[in-house]
Structure 1
Amino acid sequence: MKLYFSPGACSLSPHIALREAGVEPELVRVDLATKKLADGGDYLAINSKGYVPALQLDDGTILTEGPAILIYIVQNLARTPLGPKEGMGLVRLVEWLNFIATEIHKGFSPLFKPNCPQEWKAVAKENLLKRLQWVDGQLAQRTWLLGEEFSVADVYLYVCSRWTSFAKIDLAAFPALARFADKMTQRPAVQAAIEAEGLKR
């Protein structure tokens, strides 16, 4: 099983989730600027969207889009539960993944674009701070996003929370989220993925 990734990007979430599931994927690094693989291959031939992650299954099937890959891991690979597989629990998991993808993950996007006007960045940051404040309130009431059950939604949120330092957002302003992030860093799968990608804890 191959995971196409870029260090510290959103592909870190399926990377961590795979390790939580007991799977150590073959990592294939992608240069997002050139769309080239480490061996010189064309990443666009793997994923024509040009961004990470992409997961190549053992039968050659290619999966793209982080939340979809996370659901696949929950449904097919996890040796211990990483989220509900059916019913209202699954609906709540998808609800969280969708929120994180559209409101948190994409909320960071303008802040990382050097050609984005400062006025746009200011509005984007203001909106992002509101979303982070809301998440902080939710985490103040529960251990994990789904309550007492750890899930891939927690993995995705953790990866996004790592970007606050790059966006010059002080995580200390969100104490419950900061505690959550600290707790996540103690998980062996998180530590292994961060080490494998050459990132700082």
Structure 2
Amino acid sequence: MILFYYPGACSIANHIALIEVGMPHKLISINHEKKTEDGRDFLAINPKGYIPALETDEGAVLTENAVILHYIAEKSGRLLPQGGISKWRALEALAFMNSEIHGSYAPFFRNFPEPEKVRAREKLAKAFSILSDQMGSKTFLISDELTIADCYLFWVLMVSGRSGVDLPENLKSGYERLRGLPSVSRALSEEGLLRGNS
């Protein structure tokens, strides 16, 4: 299985999940010219042109973060409760972060005018408040067990500083807990994101 990624991008959620479940995989990075590190045209692999993309052992290419995370959970039988409302809460949180938070980061990754950044900050502050309420005093977002929602949450919180929005205290603590997981440390190291690696 091959994960096409860009260091520090949202694809790190998939990278963390693959490590966490022990699924064998190869990493291939993509550059801004849409070329893979081994010189291939990434658009031939994923015509959408963005990461993440996961090439399965069967040769199919999956895209979209939430779908890849769900695929990893289904294939491994881990990181997603097998039944009950917790399964749906994890998927709900994943969809919420993908639609309401990820998209709201756009003004801070590109040169958007300040009024759009102000609107995005307001939306992000509200979204972080909702996630904070959902997490409460639990170890992870959905429960005391790590799920695919937490893999994505790590990236959401990792890049939150670009927006200038203060995180609620329990999300700050949750980020530090996630950062301390061996799977997260390994993903950061493999992507060259640990201090001293960049």
Q: Same fold (TM over 0.5)?
A: yes
The match for 2:122 is 126
In structure 1, what is the Cα distance between the partners aligned to 2:183 and 2:106? Answer: 26
User: Does 2:79 correspond to 1:82?
Assistant: yes
Comparing 5-14 with 138-147, which one deviates more in the overlay?
138-147
* Superposed displacement of residue 125, structure 1: 1.2
Partner of 2:190: 196
1:15 counterpart residue number = 15
Question: C-alpha distance in 2, partners of 1:165/1:93?
Answer: 24
Residues 134 and 142 of structure 2 are in contact (CA less than 8 Å); yes or no, is this contact kept in structure 1?
A: no
Structure-2 residue corresponding to 1:45: 44
Q: Deviations over 1:22-49 (max 9, x none)?
A: 1242110011x31111122110011111
Counting only pairs closer than 5 Å after superposition, residues 100-179 of structure 1 correspond to structure 2 as 100-114=97-111, 116-171=112-167, 174-179=168-173
SS in 2 for 1:40: coil
Between the two proteins, the alignment pairs up a number of residues equal to: 195
Query: In the TM superposition, what is the alpha-carbon distance from 1:108 to its structure 2 partner?
Result: 1.1
How far, CA to CA, are the matches of 2:134 and 2:155 in structure 1?
A: 17
Q: Give the unaligned 5+ runs of structure 1.
A: none
Alpha-carbon separation, structure 2, partners of 1:74 and 1:67: 11
Q: Deviations over 1:120-176 (max 9, x none)?
A: 1111111111111221222223222222222010110111100022333344xx100
User: Which sections of structure 2, spanning at least 5 residues, go unmatched?
Assistant: none
Alpha-carbon distance in structure 2 between the residues aligned to 1:39 and 1:195: 20
Moved more, 116-125 or 9-18: 116-125
Shift of 1:103: 1.1
1:37 aligned counterpart, secondary structure: coil
Once residues 76 and 192 of structure 2 are traced to their aligned partners in structure 1, the CA distance between those partners, rounded to angstroms, is 25
Q: Is the Cα contact below 8 Å between 2:121 and 2:164 reproduced in 1? A: no
Aligned counterparts of 1:24 and 1:129: Cα–Cα separation in 2 = 37
Amino acid at match of 2:186: A
Q: Secondary structure at the match of 2:163?
A: coil
1:14–1:69: 8 Å Cα contact kept in structure 2?
A: yes
2:2 maps to what in 1? 2
Q: What is the alpha-carbon distance in structure 2 between the residues aligned to residue 150 and residue 12 of structure 1? A: 16
The amino acid across from 2:173 in the alignment is: R
- Secondary structure of 1:165's partner? helix
Partners of 1:92 and 1:137 lie apart in 2 by: 13
Q: Deviations over 1:44-85 (max 9, x none)?
A: 01111111000001111111101001111111125xx31123
Alignment-mate amino acid for residue 96 of structure 2: F
Using the TM superposition, give the Cα deviation of residue 104 of structure 1 relative to its aligned residue in structure 2, in angstroms.
Answer: 1.5
CA RMSD of aligned residues (A): 1.6
Q: Which amino acid aligns with 2:124?
A: L
Q: What is the CA distance between 1:112 and its match in structure 2?
A: 1.0
Q: Is the 8 A contact 1:3 1:55 kept in 2?
A: yes
Q: Say if 1:112 and 1:167, in contact at 8 Å, map to a contact too.
A: no
